[in-house]
Every structure is written in structure tokens, then in C-alpha cells.
Amino acid sequence: MNWYGTVSLLLACIEFLLLFNLFVFAEKNKLNKIAIVMVALLACYQTLEFFMCQVGLQTSFFPFFAFVIISFLPPLNLILVLTLTRNLTPALGETRLRRLSLTNWLIFIPAIFFSIFYTFVIPQFAVTSCTVLYATYNYPLGDLFGFFYYLPILISIILLIISIKKESDKKKKLVGKVLLFGALFISIPPSLGFILMFAGSYSLISAMESVMCKFAFVYALCLSFICIYNSPFKDERNYFKYLSRYK
């Protein structure tokens, strides 16, 4: 018996446990809903990778489906950051907020494009190798996919840095800092991968999606912390209601 996909299974179990706790304890506001969806997608990807590497489900559909899942993570993260940074800035007015909300959905166009395009070239997807820690894939339009994959992450980091500097509320600033830490942490693999690529080594680049999703486990922890931190418990809500009566 090999141990391929074991780390993926371990991370999937922890992420599903996080997901269960978020469903039970986290308040279902807009910020938390986006974070919960992201944790769910990460857990699904890790589960798929375990099945592909350990169970042997390596027909083209499974890596294709895995790529569809991860395609929506960066735009969702950017929407999450935009939701947060909008709260970190002065009110923009109802009309402008509605326009921005509609514009936000344009962020998903690249993910939707790749999801549709890849359905026509599913046979080109393949799991080329598996290890205990990660898997490597063959898929079309790798460079273009990578550009649209990393761009929202880079924009998110820039927005968080700018917004944290402007924020005076300690609670909101902490949320921004936790998200920024997570975003910088998952940026380590691509940064290192590009450095190694220029040095003539392509091993990390070929496994980038899988390695980034392993690093994204830390981001799932950050998202879980934010959801709980952003969720007053029932007793806490009652306490503040009680205080408000006597102000």
C-alpha cells in the first residue's frame, strides 16, 4: 500500500470539521457566507485529490472537476476582500454600492470561461503523478489559467494592505491582518516556483495548484477564525440587547 494522497485526506477531514463548526457557530452574514463556501471548496478539492491519488479515480473527468473547483477560489477571495474593504471605508451610498455589487460578478468571468472551455477538452486532463504531499496535472492553457488564477490573489493583497492602513477600528483591522497573512502565506509556493523556474527547475510549477491548495489549509484556518470572530454568540447578542435598554 502506498501513502499517496494521505496529506490530502488529512486536510480534507480537518477542513470538513472546520466547515461543520462554521455551519453551527458562525453567523450567516455576507462575509461569513463567502468564507464558508471557500472552505467547502478547499475541502472538496482535497477529497478529490485523495480519491485520484489513492483510490485511483484518474479518468480525465476528476482532474477536470478539481480544476473547476479551484478556478472559483481566487475570485471568491477577491469578493471576500472587497466586501471587507468596503466596510473599512466610508459609506458610498446605496446606488453606488448596488452598482459595485453588480460589477463584482464580472470577477467570475475568467473562472466561468475556463469551466465552460474545459468541458470541451476534458480528455486533455490527466493526473501525471502523485506523491504523499501533492499531485501534478496535465491541462490545456496552463499559462493563461495561471495568470487569471494569481491576478485576483495579487489584487486582494494590495487591497488589504491599503485598507489596513486606513482602518482605525481594532476588530476590523485584525480581520484584515488575518486575511492578509493568509493571502501572503498561500503566495509562497508561486513566488518560489517562479524563482525556481527562472533557475531552470519546473518541478514546483508543475505541481503548483496542488501545493497551493495544501498551503491554503492555513487560509482555511484564517477564514474560520474570521467567521467565528465575526459572529456574536447568542448570549453575547442578548447581553448587548440588555445593555441597550439602559442606555
**How many CA atoms are closer than 13 Å to the CA of 63, on its beta-carbon side?**
24
From CA 195, how far away is CA 186, in angstroms rounded? 15
For residue 136, give Cα distances in angstroms to 4, 50, 178. 12, 13, 30
Q: How confident is the model at residue 105 (pLDDT cuts 50, 70, 90)?
A: confident
Return d(Cα 75, Cα 246) in angstroms, integer: 44
Tell me the per-residue pLDDT of 16-37, one tens digit each, with 9 for 90 and over. 999 999 998 888 888 899 999 9
* Gap between the Cα atoms of 146 and 93, Å rounded: 36
Q: How sure is the predictor about 247, in pLDDT bands with cuts at 50, 70 and 90? A: very low
Alpha-carbon dihedral sign for residues 104, 184, 38, 30: negative
Over residues 145-181, the pLDDT tens digits come to 999 999 999 999 998 998 888 877 788 889 899 999 9
Least confident of 120-129, 188-197, 234-243: 234-243
Judge whether 224 and 217 are in contact, CB under 8 Å.
no
CA distance 50 to 65: 14
Per-residue pLDDT reduced to its tens digit, 48-101: 999 999 888 889 999 999 999 999 999 999 999 988 877 544 444 444 445 555
Q: Note the pTM of the prediction, 2 decimals.
A: 0.87
Tens of pLDDT, residue by residue over 37-62, are 999 999 999 999 999 998 888 899 99
Residue 212 cell numbers, joined: 497551493
Judged against a pLDDT cut of 90, whether residue 119 lies above it is answered with yes
With CA atoms as reference, report the closest residue to 215 among 243, 191, 245, 231: 191
Which H/E stretch holds residue 161? helix 142-166
In one-letter notation, the amino acid at residue 135 is A
Q: What is the DSSP letter of 246?
A: T
Burial of 233 (0-12, 13-18, 19+ CB in 10 A): exposed
Asked if residue 148 lies in contact with residue 115, where contact means CB atoms within 8 angstroms, the answer is: no
Query: Residues, the chain, total?
Result: 247
pLDDT above 60: residue 243: no
Q: What is the reported pLDDT for 102? A: 57
* CA–CA distance, 36 with 40 (Å, rounded to integer): 6
- Tracing cell 467570475 back to the chain, one arrives at 108
On the question of pLDDT at 189 being above 60, the answer is yes
Mean pLDDT over each residue of the chain, to the nearest integer: 85
Q: Tell me, rounded to whole angstroms, the distance of Cα 152 from its chain centroid.
A: 11
Domains of the chain, CATH where assigned? 6-245 (1.20.1070)
Task: Using pLDDT thresholds of 50, 70 and 90, give the confidence band for residue 103.
Answer: low
- pLDDT for 90 equals 42
State the pLDDT at residue 101. 55
Kindly tell me if the per-residue pLDDT of 233 is higher than 80: no
